[in-house]
Amino acid sequence: MTSPSIIIVDDDPPLRLLTSRALQEHGYTVRPASSAPEMWAAFDGGPVDLVLLDIMLPGTNGIDLCRQIRRKSDVPIIFISARGSEADRIVGLELGADDYLAKPFSTRELIARIRAVLRRVGVERQQGDLRESEACFDGWSVSFPRRELRSPGGAVVDLTGAEFDLLGSFLSHPQRVIARERLIELSRTRLGDSSDRSIDVLVSRLRRKLSTANKPAPITTVRGIGYMFNAEVSRA
């Protein structure tokens, strides 16, 4: 397997250089671009596995650029932004970015996010899944772009990144027993988060959040093997 190639779009030359160097040190092929035209030129240079896109570019703004890329390609996009507000994150993710990274970030965090996105997209392609946006079960609804869970009553229910990924893994394998090891592998797409908690703790927390006064959470423990999500999942 050849090293994945990444386009970096950032108007700050030193930062672009530093990011490229960090990525190259971790074995990625990097094509830097300082503006939208340069980015399109870089696209013509060969297959692209991922785009690192700074939201605040001179000329075109990153959000428009993201929309333009989505019209042409399914390539994974990670937004980089100096704004870093929750509202920006949601806008970026809703526009079809796969992840959102706030400045400043460490090399470790950058690499972890890139790996996670590449792995997630890889898994999705393998399973022939299209990019999913909504899933519902027992009245609960999950928005994947916003990474948001809503209760049957319509309220936003906070989940940590690791908990959301765990829920995502359950939702893609409903009514099937999933071994603990497989669950760890599936859910470990966000290394940057506090995923060093044992999977059992994560499951128990998720269970607590999904249980209501009149209905327990639809997650059952299968002794000695793993867990099962026993609710019907409908996708949109």
Stretch that binds another protein, among 38-46, 61-69, 92-100, 154-162 (CB under 8 A): 154-162
**Closest approach of Cβ 154 to another protein, in Å?**
5
* Total binding residues toward another protein, as defined by CB under 8 A: 39
119-148 residues in contact with another protein (CB under 8 A) are none
Report CA torsion sign: 19, 25, 28, 33. Answer: positive
Helix intervals (H) in the chain: 13-25, 36-44, 62-72, 86-94, 107-126, 161-172, 180-187, 199-210
Residue of the chain from 153, 223, 224, 236 that contacts another protein (CB under 8 A): 153
Rank residues 186 and 202 by Cβ distance to another protein and give the closer one: 202
Rank residues 9 and 121 by Cβ distance to another protein and give the closer one: 9
Residue of the chain from 1, 71, 87, 126 that contacts another protein (CB under 8 A): 87
CA distances from 187 to 120, 140, 221 (A): 9, 20, 17
Rank residues 17 and 41 by Cβ distance to another protein and give the closer one: 17
90-95 long-range contacts, CB within 8 A, separation 24+ = 90/146, 91/63, 92/55, 92/63, 92/66, 93/145, 93/146, 93/147, 94/145, 94/146, 95/63, 95/66, 95/67, 95/70
Stretch that binds another protein, among 42-50, 76-84, 164-172, 174-182 (CB under 8 A): 76-84
Q: Is 179 in the site for another protein (CB under 8 A)?
A: no
* Structural contact between residues 116 and 186, judged by C-beta atoms closer than 8 angstroms: no
Q: Is 83 in the site for another protein (CB under 8 A)?
A: yes
Stretch that binds another protein, among 31-39, 43-51, 99-107, 227-235 (CB under 8 A): 99-107
List the structure tokens of 155. 């309220």
Binding site for another protein (CB under 8 A): 12, 14-15, 18-19, 21-22, 56, 82-87, 102-108, 151, 153-160, 194, 196-197, 205, 208-209, 211-213
